[in-house]
Amino acid sequence: MTLSGGANPAFSPPATVAPLRGITLKVASVCVFVAMSALIKAAENIPAGELVFYRCFFAIVPVLVYLAWQGNLRFGLHTNNPFGHVLRGLIGIASMGLSFYGLTMLPLPEAIAIGYAAPLVVVVLGAVLLKERVQLYRWTAVIVGLVGVIIMLWPRLTILSGQTAMGTGETLGALAALLAAIFSAFAMMQVRRLVQTERTETIVLYFFITGSVLSLLTLPFGWVWPTLEQTVILVLAGIAGGVGQILLTASYRHAEMSVIAPFEYTSLLLGLAVGFVAFGDIPTLPMLGGAAIVIASGIFIIFREHRLGLDRNKARQASSL
């Protein structure tokens, strides 16, 4: 599960170089997103579409306050590509709904770990759809990482292991979490297209707005009237999502993405602790082993991309001499 919901990480490019501050803000955003996930999991018996509505609608509030404080509110809704935002919203909401369903069916750390498959899928999609050049090192890392995903999923896919028929909540939850990661990768690809013409704050705001509207289409499929306690939990989850996005935004103002990105994986450690304390989740060896493989592959890809970026910059500088 992509904790930030696939939203673009920054409203504006880095302004200052302060890696420690950037890392601190990134870890803080991870903590808030894990808290958001725990709140969503705690709101029992709420349909996924309804969860998406609360997550998106109430996230708009802190984001609007932040943009107003930054003086960027007037740019928020100006767009040259409304259809692109709707498409991004459709894909992102599908990912979010599936991830929330998986979250309700699986232990918290397992749902988080399966979401780590998204960056691996992005590499594949970039090569297939955008014809990006992917060298052997990254293909190897992707294949190894996907093996780690299979290791995590295998105990849940009982129909394949011959134990029971597929239909258990955990099996469906695992498949939903995997599909959520795939949809999240497609959402990231759409964001790549949007950033060519759109401001990042516009992408984020339209995602939350379209998410709020599109999630209302699931009303006929079994929304429930939440209790007061559930309502408070869901509103807090939405606000936490917006605050987490703001912290994530701020982190990329102070350090490069290659420095910040690996700290996303601290969400697993925090998820393990919160899952055990709040929900009694006990991590399994396949989950821990598979997650370790996926994390190692993801970090390798991040640093490989950083190295290739440095090499490309050197080549451009040399050609300009």
Task: Report pLDDT digits (tens) over 167-208.
Answer: 578 888 999 999 999 999 998 888 888 878 888 788 888 999
Rounded to a whole number of angstroms, the CA Rg of the chain reads: 19
Cβ distance 107 to 281 under 8 Å?
yes
| Euclidean distance between CA atoms 292 and 213, whole angstroms | 37
Cβ distance 215 to 56 under 8 Å?
yes
| Euclidean distance between CA atoms 160 and 156, whole angstroms | 9
| Cα-based angle 218, 220, 225 (whole degrees, multiple of 5) | 85
**Could you tell me the pLDDT band of residue 73, with boundaries at 50, 70 and 90?**
confident
| Of residues 119, 312, 95, 313, the one with CA closest to residue 215 | 95
Cβ distance 66 to 246 under 8 Å?
yes
pLDDT digits (tens, 9 = 90+) for 49-70: 999 999 999 999 998 998 888 8
pLDDT digits (tens, 9 = 90+) for 258-269: 678 788 899 999
Please compute the mean of the pLDDT values over residues 1-15 and round it to a whole number.
49
DSSP string, 56-87: HHTTHHHHHHHHHHHT-GGGTT--S-HHHHHH
pLDDT at residue 36 in the model:
96
| Euclidean distance between CA atoms 312 and 309, whole angstroms | 5
The mean pLDDT of the chain is 84
pLDDT at residue 250 in the model:
80
Domain-by-domain residue ranges, the chain?
19-319
Angle of helix 285-319 versus helix 136-153 axis, rounded to 10: 160
Percent of the chain scoring above 70 in pLDDT: 86
pLDDT at residue 9 in the model:
45
CB contact set of 70 (below 8 Å; sequence gap of 6+): 11
pLDDT at residue 163 in the model:
53
| Euclidean distance between CA atoms 99 and 307, whole angstroms | 32
